[in-house]
Amino acid sequence: MSHDVKANLIFNPKWDDTVAHRTIIKWNTTWLFNLNSTKYTRAKSMYQIMIWNFWVPEKVKWLWEDAIQFKSLSPEEQRAYKWILSFLIFLDSIQTVNLPNFNDYITAPEVNLILSIQAYQEAIHSQSYATILETVVPSDLRDEIYYFWRSDKHLLERNEFIWWIYQDFINNPTEENLFRWIIWNFLLESIYFYNWFAFFDTLASQTKMVATDRMINYIRRDELTHVTIFANIIKDIKKEFPHIYNEWIIKDMMWVAVDQEIKWSKHILWNRIIWMSEESVENYTRWLANGRLAMLWITPLYPNIITNPFKHLEALQDNNSEKWNFFESTVTNYTQSSSMKWSWDF
């Protein structure tokens, strides 16, 4: 039987903050952010990386050059550029709204803190897309891009599917729906962005829309930390609440996510973007899924897919020599985090 779960109190003076008893969900604390007394120490490292990686869209220069170049893109490239932005705008918009609701059910203050930073980063991403549209895309196309889902049933179906899993828990807050909510956050952050990041990398590899790709690089750097956050939450659930954890649900939801991503890519790319064939996108999505499941110590869904078909794009994904351990549940930023001498342990 799946029991109901309740949102956190804002303040609970009758409880205590004993670290030894703390759990990732379903625990009562005072809700005081005593960050010198933490259980999930990895959240401290993640906090440092996320803060140190702070950026704003204004950091990216020369977008005006992309505005000139946009006019010379092929019709297929222009179409993909616009509709991919439309989907990315939705993903970051819904996460900005979703994460505060999700945070109400996490009962570890140190994890609450990094989820709050994530919500802020999602808002920055939304601002980034607005900056791209304002600078690169002709003004008469902007509303069409924002609201493409109103005229394209395929995108509307994708958006509604994502929204409904989140909304279903809010309407019916059971343990099983909470687990599905957590898994879908992981899938959104770990699967749904990356074909589209690869599209911008593909253009940049041909010296097209290079400033846009630079913006995407900053967004990707943030998203990889978000993947790690949710991978760790899932593993905490498995350890602390084995009756809630369900590997079958994870695999089933991953299969759905991969299927949706492949269908959407065929609809958007039409097999007409150089170096992004239907086969390469399918294999990349499945390769990505295998790697994401490996983060959770789950065997691959697609054991025959063992290589990254977009490996030639890796040099473009190296953001100022900031190296990410792509499929591990830790994030390492050798350039920045290794030089940080401060922590929560003042």
Give the pTM. Answer: 0.90
pLDDT of residue 31: 81
* CATH assignment of the domain containing 135: 1.10.620.20
pLDDT of residue 54: 92
Average pLDDT over residues 204-233: 96
Whether 16 is in a domain gets the answer no
Rounded to the nearest 10°, the torsion over CA 174, 180, 186, 187 is: -150
pLDDT of residue 331 exceeding 90, the answer is no
CB atoms within 10 A of CB 124: 17
Annotation marks residue 129 as catalytic = yes
Average pLDDT over residues 59-78: 94
pLDDT of residue 333 exceeding 80, the answer is no
Whether 12 is in a domain gets the answer no
pLDDT of residue 3: 78
* Site of tokens 């704003």: 56
Please tell me the distance from the alpha carbon of residue 219 to that of residue 198, in angstroms, as a whole number: 13
Are 215 and 178 within 8 A, CB to CB? no
CA distances from 112 to 9, 47, 109 (A): 13, 11, 5
The active-site residue, picked from 105, 129, 192, 218, is 129
Whether 315 is in a domain gets the answer yes
pLDDT of residue 328 exceeding 90, the answer is no
pLDDT of residue 249 exceeding 60, the answer is yes
Percent of the chain with pLDDT over 70: 91
CA distances from 261 to 82, 91, 102 (A): 17, 13, 24
pLDDT in tens, 115-172: 999 999 999 999 999 999 999 999 999 999 999 999 999 999 989 989 999 999 999 9
Are 327 and 294 within 8 A, CB to CB? yes
Q: Give the pLDDT band of residue 318 (cuts 50, 70, 90).
A: low
Whether 109 is in a domain gets the answer yes
* Number of domains observed in the structure of the chain: 1
Whether 282 is in a domain gets the answer yes
Q: Give the pLDDT band of residue 215 (cuts 50, 70, 90).
A: very high
Average pLDDT over residues 46-57: 93
Between 90-94, 159-163, 220-224, the lowest mean confidence (pLDDT) is in 159-163
Please tell me the distance from the alpha carbon of residue 274 to that of residue 204, in angstroms, as a whole number: 12
Whether 36 is in a domain gets the answer no
* Site of tokens 């473009």: 316
Whether 9 is in a domain gets the answer no
* Site of tokens 């729906």: 177
**Sign of the C-alpha dihedral, residues 137, 141, 144, 148?**
negative
Whether 29 is in a domain gets the answer no
pLDDT of residue 2: 62
Q: Which residues sit opposite 4 in a β-bridge?
A: 174
Range(s) of the domain holding residue 97: 55-339
Please tell me the distance from the alpha carbon of residue 291 to that of residue 221, in angstroms, as a whole number: 17
Please tell me the distance from the alpha carbon of residue 333 to that of residue 180, in angstroms, as a whole number: 30
pLDDT of residue 344 exceeding 60, the answer is no
pLDDT of residue 339 exceeding 60, the answer is no
Average pLDDT over residues 65-72: 96
